[in-house]
Amino acid sequence: MLQGWIQIALTILIVVAITPFLGEYMARVYLGKPTVLDSVLNPLERSLLTLMGVRSRSEMTGWQYARALLFSNLAMSVLLALILFGQGWLPFNPTGLSSPSWDTNLHTIISFITNTNQQHYSGETTYGYFAQFAGLGFMFFVSAGTGLAVGIAFIRGLTGKPLGNFYVDLTQSITRILLPISIVGAIIFMVAGMPETLAGPVVVPTLEDPNISQAIALGPVAHFEIVKELGENGGGFYAINSAHPFENPNGLTNLIEIISMMAIPASLIYTYGAIAENRKQAWLVYGMVMVIFVGFVVITEIGEANGNAAVNALLGSPSPNLEGKEVRFGWAQSALYTVVTTGTMTGAVNSLIDSYMPTGGFVTLSNLFLQIIWGGQGTGTAYLFAYLILAVFATGLMVGRTPEFLGRKIEKREVVLASFLLLLVHPLFVLIPSAITLGFPDQLAGISNPGFHGLGQVVYEYASATANNGSGWEGLADSQPAPTGLWWNLSASVSLLGGRYIPIICLLLLADGMSRKQPVPMTVGTLRTDTVLFTGITAGVVLIMGALTFFPVLALSPIAEAFQLAKGG
């Protein structure tokens, strides 16, 4: 058991060590400063921007940035639709898979363009190689790049700089951050045992009976897997995602996947500090998120290490909860992976979240509700600093100080946008469809577990969609024919779109307004935000707001389930 805790500590230390280097590099990229890749990438980027019709790097307003983002995402969705609906006529489809139902394709398109990658299908038996690497794999880059572009535009606005140009930010996010790291990671993954081939499935006799054959699916997995984690995409090439031995063969690949999920969102906080020229505040905010993250890890790990009391009574001795987990990862790395994947909004899984103890259910739901531990690709960092704006306003009112952030006054417009973003949009697209679904459990939900856990299954599905995470507690009929499968595909699509694009527009408008404010000189009445005290207050604001909004759901599902298990129910 001690070995598991040591592994967790070392993994976190590696992420902390990476943060200043990657964070500083991203700051140089987005500030237009020289980097080691300039000689190779400058000509490539100029060619790509010319091909897209972007002949200047003119700055955009918040609305212009949002429109460019929405139109480009719409165009890419049309391209993906052509691939998925026409996959029966496309090459590299060795098993001759035809296109699935229209509602499955629609949900998949929306899910992948929103960087959610919620899958109501089984990867290797639904989509061929071309659809996976040219369609879904392409979305891995552009959806993650879109989130990074929004995050950096928000940081620029907060620090009083113009928001930038969406097309330039999207291009640089892919060419200078996602693509170089993915190339290196894909090579490491191939060496570690992941397949990278266009060959069809291999048919082999089973160990139990040589007369019975089994088809083992292959595919171009290695390059798909690294950007899946690095871009916080999460969609698996195979049905069981990173629990599959070809997507996650051993401890080394598992470690790299965990670090890849955390690297960019953690480093973006440092990037903010570099751009704002206030690294002290960046480290304080980083520390706040890390403390909450470590607390969530400890809560989950203790629950999994102690296991189920009823099972332990049958065994006659304490045993970790190994249900739904791969033995090659064990309880410790499985639980760490789960907290990371729900905290970073990645959604990849190396174990079945549905089988975790109630403490794990509490943490995974809390991550989806808060969205800042560490948050989505780019957007999570923006959410985090939106919380800081609310904390500045609330604290300023309480102590009689001027509510200012980075020398710019926080006024009604900023508070309304931040409140709408954090306190209304997310609950709206989680709780309303959950209530409708739970009102018709037999006709719509298809819940496999009645009672407290079944309620959590439904809420988790919509929370995952709205937070653009994509993981699930499973146990729902979301891959079945109508009416249940149709309901899940359509209702989750609404949450996917609402949870992605409404917050993005709010963030861009908030950043645009902050960038236009005239800076005011710091006085004795100014509330400083780069102190330990204010950072602690911000943590309280985050947790209290999250608790006030979603605590009833937590009380009715994982907390109630924990009491039920404790009573032997």
pLDDT tens-digit readout, 476-509 = 877 777 777 889 999 999 999 999 999 999 999 9
Lowest mean pLDDT among 137-146, 177-186, 490-499, 524-533: 524-533
User: Do 111 and 119 contact (CB within 8 A), yes or no?
Assistant: yes
What average pLDDT does the segment 56-85 reach? 94
**pLDDT: is 48 or 14 the higher one?**
14
pLDDT of the residue at 546: 78
For residue 316, give the DSSP letter.
T
pLDDT tens-digit readout, 308-363 = 887 888 877 788 999 899 988 989 999 999 999 999 999 999 999 999 999 999 99
Identify the H or E element spanning 48: helix 38-51
pLDDT band at 197 (very low <50, low <70, confident <90, very high): very high
pLDDT of the residue at 136: 96
From the list 216, 213, 217, the residue with the least C-alpha distance to 128 is: 217
Three-state DSSP at 205 gives strand
Is the pLDDT at 569 greater than 60, yes or no? no
The HSE-up count of residue 283 (CA atoms within 13 Å, CB side) is 9
pLDDT of the residue at 209: 83
The HSE-up count of residue 69 (CA atoms within 13 Å, CB side) is 33
Residue type, 67: R
Residue range(s) defining the domain that contains residue 277 = 2-566
pTM of the predicted model, to two decimals? 0.94
Mean of the per-residue pLDDT values for the chain? Answer: 91
In whole angstroms, give the CA distance from residue 430 to residue 36. 44
Question: Within a 10 A sphere around the Cβ of 509, how many other Cβ atoms?
Answer: 20
User: Do 514 and 414 contact (CB within 8 A), yes or no?
Assistant: yes
* Residue corresponding to tokens 């400890």: 298
Give residues with Cβ within 8 angstroms of 53, minimum separation 6: none
pLDDT of the residue at 289: 96
pLDDT of the residue at 52: 82
Domain count, the chain: 1
Q: What value, to the nearest 5°, has the Cα angle with vertex 108 and ends 106 and 114? A: 105
Is the pLDDT at 91 greater than 80, yes or no? yes
